[in-house]
Amino acid sequence: MEPRKRVYAFFDGQNIFHAARECFGYPKPNYDPIQLALRVTGLEKDRTLVGLNFYTGIHSNEIRPDLNQFWHRKLESIKYRGEKLGIQVKAISRPLKYAFVDDLKNPGKKYPLPREKGIDVRLALDMVRLARYRQFDVAIIFSQ
């Protein structure tokens, strides 16, 4: 009997949210990365999810306190649930950068347009580092 293959999942949280919003009209990122990773891992009988890294940009508390708090709670929840299931979960966040652009509906006003910077590079570097240390046999990237 062959040993089970160790699977590590890597999530780009904002990309998955935008894809879910576009496909299903979800106004909030209400997807469950742990369940999604477990289901995809379970598509092959010889695989076990051993780790999950979740990457996301976090809104400024001054500009979007609702989304800032939402993401902090979501990241804590993901880490807690992973611990309970015996899955190594890391939540990696970076502050979003903002460009202030003209509001076409309100001339003379500007609105903040959030931009995520560095998440893709961090995900790739972490995946290569974990592969070099042989922490997994199979990597799954959840992104757009």
Q: How confident is the model at residue 119 (pLDDT cuts 50, 70, 90)?
A: very high
Q: How confident is the model at residue 1 (pLDDT cuts 50, 70, 90)?
A: low
Partner residues linked to 9 by β-bridges: 52, 140
End-to-end CA distance of the chain: 36
Please state, rounded to an integer, the average pLDDT across all residues of the chain.
94
Provide the domain count of the chain. Answer: 1
Please state the rounded mean pLDDT for residues 87-101.
95
Q: How confident is the model at residue 77 (pLDDT cuts 50, 70, 90)?
A: very high
48: pLDDT strictly greater than 70:
yes
Residue 114 buriedness (CB in 10 A; 0-12 / 13-18 / 19+): middle
Structure tokens, 68:
């800032």
The pTM assigned to this predicted structure is 0.90
Q: Which range of residues forms the domain containing residue 89?
A: 5-142
- Name 131's Cβ contacts closer than 8 Å, sequence gap at least 6: 139
Calculate what percentage of the chain has a pLDDT beyond 90: 79
